[in-house]
Amino acid sequence: MQVLVIGAGVVGLAVARAAARKGHDVVVAEAEGAIGTGTSSRNSEVIHGGMYYPAGSLRARHCVRGRRMLYEFCAAHGVTNRKYGKLIVAANDAEIAKIESLAAQGRGNGVQGLELIGGSAARGMEPELVCAGALHSPETGIIDSHGYMLALRGDLEDAGGAIAFKTPVTGARRRSGQWAVDFGGSAGGTFEFDAVVNSAGLRAQSVARSIEDYPAARVPKQVLAKGNYFAYAGRPVFSRLIYPTPMPGGLGVHVTLDLAGRMRFGPDVEWITEETYTVNPARAAVFYDRIRIYWPGLPDGSLAPDYCGIRPKLCGPNEPQADFMIDAPAQHGLPGLVHLFGIESPGLTSSLSLAEEVVGYLDS
């Protein structure tokens, strides 16, 4: 089959690679001039364990399976990663109850190695930490996400696939049993495909609306939740990722480490209506307050605005968490068309597993 994947983020690349390795002729259309310039280069680069997501959800299934696949992929392709492990810390008894239920949910989801520990055991692992107890996840790690995307691109091209850069998809329609797709850019025009995967991240809804036969009423609402990061100027004091108990909309202002062991903090949750990528320095005040709950030793003046990313959410503040949404032919009735909506965290961790599911729908 001639397969078009719209978007060369980590998910689009993983889908394109899986489709090409299955023997399809694959082209990826990417609006920008390089791979992974969207949300895929604006995240925490965490390989998540999989305990945050409700049993039976796509996020639970693909995170746990995708994590195992990702570690194997990294080993086979020489992609740098470090299994630092992570502590989700509880500040008080109410939060202890929350991490206990996270532990139960995680075990139900098949996350291996989860262990509830007391405050002093947590301090034994991380002496600067102050908490009433913690959930230890030894499988959580950090990945060089650009190295990973380069490896996906390499596999895609080895299997005969190609990426067309600066080639935005502007519309599509059914014509003689195929998808006629319009492209902008200097190589623009209309070309035909047997199957189309919409993996356009923050633009997935607008791409879906540009497909004439796809009912506009099926396009889910999109809500933008910016996550801001602050860099830490001093020497690292933690050797694991440290997360507070999750907050509505995100996982809480956490400590992440890069592959060199340097610390940074974030992301927070800032509900926005337009895409902007500036970090407001005034948000530092909230960061100091939140971080000092578990690290009272955070020095004044040590945080500097860093980067931010935008979560393509399907739900707003005070609404129940939405799952990933895969709208495939079995749901909408149009052959060979698959939309990926709301692929926020843990989309990076889930990418290889999500890709297998999506490719399974292409000839339906």
Q: Which of 122, 159, 310, 338 binds ligand FAD (CB under 6 A)?
A: 310
Q: Are strands 270-272 and 86-90 parallel, antiparallel or unpaired?
A: unpaired
Examine residue 7 and tell whether it contacts ligand FAD (CB under 6 A). yes
Closest approach, Cβ 307 to ligand FAD, in A, equals 9
Examine residue 40 and tell whether it contacts ligand FAD (CB under 6 A). yes
Best CA proximity match to 303, nearest among 289, 290, 286, 284: 284
| Residue-wise burial string across 168-206, b where 16 or more C-beta atoms lie within 10 A, e elsewhere | bbeebebeeebbebebebeeeeebebbbbbbbbbbbbbe
Q: Which of 95, 268, 270, 344 binds ligand FAD (CB under 6 A)?
A: 344
Examine residue 348 and tell whether it contacts ligand FAD (CB under 6 A). yes
Examine residue 46 and tell whether it contacts ligand FAD (CB under 6 A). yes
Helix-, strand-, coil-residue percentages of the chain, each rounded to 5: 30, 30, 40
Minimum CB distance to ligand FAD smaller for 43 or for 105:
43
- Which residue is at the shortest CB distance from ligand FAD? 347
**How many angstroms separate the CA atoms of 362 and 197, rounded?**
8
Examine residue 5 and tell whether it contacts ligand FAD (CB under 6 A). no
Minimum CB distance to ligand FAD smaller for 136 or for 311:
311
CB–CB of 268/227 below 8 Å? yes
Closest approach, Cβ 308 to ligand FAD, in A, equals 7
Examine residue 353 and tell whether it contacts ligand FAD (CB under 6 A). no
Ordered DSSP codes for 72-127: HHHHHHT--EE---EEEEESSHHHHHHHHHHHHHHHHHT-TT-EEEEHHHHHHH-T
The alpha carbons of the chain give a radius of gyration, in whole angstroms, of 21
Examine residue 30 and tell whether it contacts ligand FAD (CB under 6 A). yes
Q: Which of 345, 352, 353, 359 binds ligand FAD (CB under 6 A)?
A: 345
Best CA proximity match to 254, nearest among 262, 263, 244: 244
Q: Which of 49, 141, 227, 342 binds ligand FAD (CB under 6 A)?
A: 227
Minimum CB distance to ligand FAD smaller for 89 or for 358:
358
Closest approach, Cβ 27 to ligand FAD, in A, equals 11
Closest approach, Cβ 13 to ligand FAD, in A, equals 7
Instruction: Please state whether 252 falls in left (phi above 0), alpha (psi between -120 and 50) or beta.
Output: left
Examine residue 51 and tell whether it contacts ligand FAD (CB under 6 A). no
CA dihedral 339, 340, 342, 346 (to 10 degrees): 170
Q: Which of 44, 81, 205, 245 binds ligand FAD (CB under 6 A)?
A: 44
Closest approach, Cβ 10 to ligand FAD, in A, equals 5
Residue type, 52: Y
Examine residue 2 and tell whether it contacts ligand FAD (CB under 6 A). no
By CB under 6 A, the residues from 184 to 213 that bind ligand FAD are 199-203, 207
Examine residue 252 and tell whether it contacts ligand FAD (CB under 6 A). no
Please report, for residues 164, 204, 278, 287, 328, the alpha-carbon distance to residue 271 in angstroms, rounded to integers and kept in the order given.
33, 19, 14, 16, 29
Q: Which of 17, 62, 86, 311 binds ligand FAD (CB under 6 A)?
A: 311
In this structure, the number of other CB atoms found within 10 A of the CB of residue 104 comes to 14
Contact footprint for ligand FAD (CB under 6 A): 6-12, 29-32, 37-40, 42-46, 48, 168-169, 199-203, 207, 227, 267, 309-311, 343-349
